[in-house]
């Protein structure tokens, strides 16, 4: 028959064997996590929370639509379109600058040709 050890002796044994305490703690945490994963109540609560979230988002979208306010997605799409338009506008500005330089060069050449003709 094994003698019953006092609680203080058991506590000191736990501290004397930190690896054993760690292993038992990890096992207890693992069992708790598995129990939570297997819990139908937790699964139902999570499903209800996600369902409530979806309904809240739908209600928010309906309210914003009724007030004729854009959604975040609408604003993001508009932002992308504005950026694209801005890039295209910069390209057109660059092309206009090139045409203006070419036109100025042509005018200089025409003026030089007229000046030579006038001297002859």
Burial 46-67 (b: 16+ CB within 10 A, else e): eeeeeeeeeeeeeeeeeeeeee
Residue 101's pLDDT is 97
Residue 7's pLDDT is 45
In a domain, 111, yes or no: yes
**Token pair of 4, please?**
């019953």
In a domain, 38, yes or no: no
**Token pair of 61, please?**
């979208």
Residue 10's pLDDT is 45
In a domain, 103, yes or no: yes
Q: Is this structure's pTM higher than 0.85?
A: no
For the chain, the domain total comes to 1
What's the CA gap between 19 and 30, in Å, rounded? 16
Residue range(s) defining the domain that contains residue 113: 70-120
In a domain, 31, yes or no: no
In a domain, 86, yes or no: yes
Digit-by-digit pLDDT tens for the chain (120 residues) are 445 444 454 445 555 567 788 888 999 999 988 888 888 888 899 999 999 999 999 999 899 889 999 988 899 999 999 999 999 999 999 999 999 999 999 999 999 999 998 887
Residue 16's pLDDT is 59
In a domain, 63, yes or no: no
In a domain, 62, yes or no: no
Residue 9's pLDDT is 47
Residue 1's pLDDT is 42
Most distant CA atoms of the chain, gap in Å: 134
Q: Could you tell me the CA-to-CA distances from 2 to 5, 11, 13, 17, 34 in Å, in that order?
A: 9, 18, 16, 20, 34
In a domain, 101, yes or no: yes
């Amino acid at each position: 028959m094994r003698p019953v050890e006092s609680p203080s002796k058991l506590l000191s044994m736990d501290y004397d064997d930190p690896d054993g305490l760690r292993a038992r703690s990890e096992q207890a945490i693992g069992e708790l996590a598995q129990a939570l994963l297997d819990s139908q109540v937790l699964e139902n609560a999570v499903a209800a929370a996600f369902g409530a979230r979806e309904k809240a988002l739908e209600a928010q979208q309906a309210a914003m639509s009724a007030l004729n306010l854009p959604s975040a997605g609408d604003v993001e799409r508009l932002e992308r379109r504005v950026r694209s338009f801005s890039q295209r506008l910069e390209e057109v500005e660059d092309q206009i600058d090139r045409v203006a330089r070419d036109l100025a060069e042509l005018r200089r050449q025409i003026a030089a040709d007229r000046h030579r003709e006038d001297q002859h």
